[in-house]
Amino acid sequence: MAKHGVRLNGGDMTATSHRAIETNVPRYTSYPTAPHFHSGVDSSTVEGWITSMPEGEEISLYLHIPYCDRLCWFCACHTKQTLRYEPVATYLEALKAEIRLFGQLIGSRGRVSAIHWGGGSPTMLKPLDMKALRAEIDSSFSLSVDLEFSVEIDPNDMGDDRLDALAEIGMTRASLGVQDFDPLVQKTINRMQSFELTAGIVNGLRDRGVCSVNLDLLYGLPHQTLETLGSTLDQALSLRPDRIALFGYAHVPWFKKHQTMIDESALPKGTARLEQAQTAAARIARDGYEVIGIDHFALPEDSLAIAAREGRLRRNFQGYTDDRCETLIGLGPSSVSRYRDGYAQNTVSTSEYSRIVQDNSLAIARGIALTQDDRIRGWVIERLMCDFALDTNRLLEQFGPAAKPVLAEAGLLAQAHDNYGFERCGDSYIVSDRTLARMVAAHFDPYLAKGNARHSVAV
């Protein structure tokens, strides 16, 4: 649903838009973004942040499984391929040690209201290991009675035994990786997965009472066309998922070397990529889905759509969410945690991570403590990415006079010739074209000019 006149499903492209679509900017799943984390944040810093958490703090847990039984060439996640289960089983012992360590540090101060298993491929885990991992969480933390528990699923890993185990340990939401159903596209990204297999897993989840099933799709893939993407959407929509994530493929071979296996000449670029994004968004919306942020869609009765309508939509390292927790603890190598006082990231190396946590220490490698200016700009960027609007009254109510310099920047941007569709509308500023939201957000990010990090294209 459009807000404040925001154009959600395309329209005539301006000259500014044409230049912007191939500009590289962050995805803003955090602010400050991860390239600006530094080693000045360590385990003692995080222990202090935990100690200062208010009593009754609601906590979201993210558990990272850094293994896959095949390596998809499009993937930019921190993961590694293994055809043996022994490394996975060994890693799980370290992960359980970290769970116990955080449980001891938090004690009765906090309560877990959301759990997310990601990767990698969490569904590589054997059913007994799934149950043991959930049992470790249950014994280490206090849990909310209305706990939400989501798991990223690779349908190729699944069978009745894993479906049964996930249902038994209380999974409430499943997120299935699809990407694209076209055989040529699948072959070029090393992700063979039939529609029939995917449909069977969706039906199996619903038969077991899983209340929310989400599909992850990609545009901008090699050999992908409007016709092949349209066919994939028709098949995906026939399953009537509760949510759809439609991400733009991030081609970052300087960051993930296996992406060099993808032929860059086969990638849609520029306006072709934008046309895929806009056409796909319009197709999904026609099927009754509400547009959420820049790349998500949800049925009107879904909690994500309700949160968006009520102005409660959030954005974190898992993307758009209705998770209300201010504290998100990332467990596993490379995982990022968000505390009220700052961000912290674990070491990326699985072996180093395992050694540190099994020595009863936090595996923090870097992070950043938040200043008041960071909090103000982070709030502004999150609202721009979620609402496509900046409510000046809400901002001043939240932060007081300290927000006035940022409001002055907003006024200057709105008056600029190349303002990326950022306009004044009453007591708010709006982003009139959602495809440019990342460009507008980048204007409020002074860190961006201070580093040399490379990012994916804006659309």
**386, two tokens:** 């979620």
Number of domains in the chain: 2
Same domain, 394 and 320: no
E runs forming strands in 370-449: 389-391, 422-425, 428-431
Q: Is 90 in a helix, a strand, or coil?
A: helix
- Per-residue confidence of the chain (459 residues) as pLDDT tens digits? 344 444 444 434 444 455 565 677 899 999 999 999 999 999 999 999 999 999 999 999 999 999 988 887 777 777 888 889 999 999 999 999 999 999 999 999 999 999 999 988 999 999 999 999 999 999 999 999 999 999 999 999 999 999 999 999 999 999 999 999 999 999 999 889 999 999 999 999 999 999 899 999 999 999 999 999 999 999 999 999 999 999 998 877 877 777 878 888 989 988 898 899 999 999 999 999 999 999 999 999 999 999 999 999 999 988 899 999 999 999 999 999 999 999 999 999 999 999 999 999 999 999 999 999 999 999 999 999 999 999 999 999 999 999 999 999 999 999 998 899 999 999 999 999 888 999 999 999 999 988 666 555 556
Other Cβ atoms within 10 Å of 362 Cβ, number: 21
Residue whose C-alpha is closest to residue 353's, from 125, 114, 87, 133: 87
CATH of residue 299: 3.80.30.20
Query: Could you say which of 274, 306, 331 is where a domain stops?
Result: 331
Domain assignment present for 275:
yes
Same domain, 44 and 11: no
Same domain, 20 and 137: no
Same domain, 150 and 266: yes
Same domain, 307 and 420: no
Predicted TM-score (pTM) of this structure: 0.91
Same domain, 239 and 185: yes
CA distance 273 to 22: 10
CATH of residue 408: 1.10.10.920
Same domain, 186 and 65: yes
Same domain, 183 and 309: yes
Q: Which domain holds residue 41?
A: 33-331
Contact 429, 392 (CB under 8 A): yes
Domain assignment present for 358:
no
Same domain, 150 and 230: yes
Same domain, 64 and 140: yes
CA distance 451 to 455: 11
Contact 389, 4 (CB under 8 A): yes
Same domain, 274 and 376: no
Domain assignment present for 423:
yes
DSSP-assigned letter for residue 231: H
Same domain, 327 and 384: no
Domain assignment present for 365:
no
Query: Could you say which of 312, 331, 350 is where a domain stops?
Result: 331
